[in-house]
Amino acid sequence: MPHPVLMKVSSSSDGKPTTYYAIILKPVPGHELSLPIVQKHAQHLAELDAQGKLVIAGPFVDNPLGLLVMKGSSKAEITQIMNEDPMITSGVRTFEVATWLLATRENKFMPPIPPPQKK
């Protein structure tokens, strides 16, 4: 089976294309990770996976950042979910959310770029 990130963009139950979000976890200077926090974070990821929201996640080996890719209805929804993550609530990580377009074989590696949204 192909890697989930490389699979064809799926549609939600309402027929709209699935929207993906990339989340970068960033360390907070002076705050160290502990095993209990990592375990609680892993449980949170397992819950997101069971809900069908988590696509892929993990830390970088050669960089202190972490990456999550999630599916959701809006950036606000993903931000709310991340604000509940134990790494965030414990103060050891901050995060940044970005809407992610998949470039795949099916779209000839040129995803449709939506017009800029008004802030």
Owning domain of residue 28: 16-101
* Assigned domain for 108 exists: no
**pLDDT tens-place string over residues 33-83:** 999 999 999 999 999 999 999 999 999 999 999 999 999 999 999 999 999
Question: Model pTM?
Answer: 0.81
CB 12 within 8 A of CB 79: no
DSSP output for 25-83: EEEPTT----HHHHHHHHHHHHHHHHTT-EEEEEE-SSSS-EEEEEEES-HHHHHHHHH
* Assigned domain for 36 exists: yes
* Assigned domain for 109 exists: no
Number of domains in the chain: 1
Residue 49 sits in a domain whose CATH number is: 3.30.70.1060
For residues 24-36, b (16+ Cβ closer than 10 Å) or e, as one string? ebebeeeeeeeee
* Assigned domain for 117 exists: no
**pLDDT tens-place string over residues 21-45:** 999 999 999 999 999 999 999 999 9
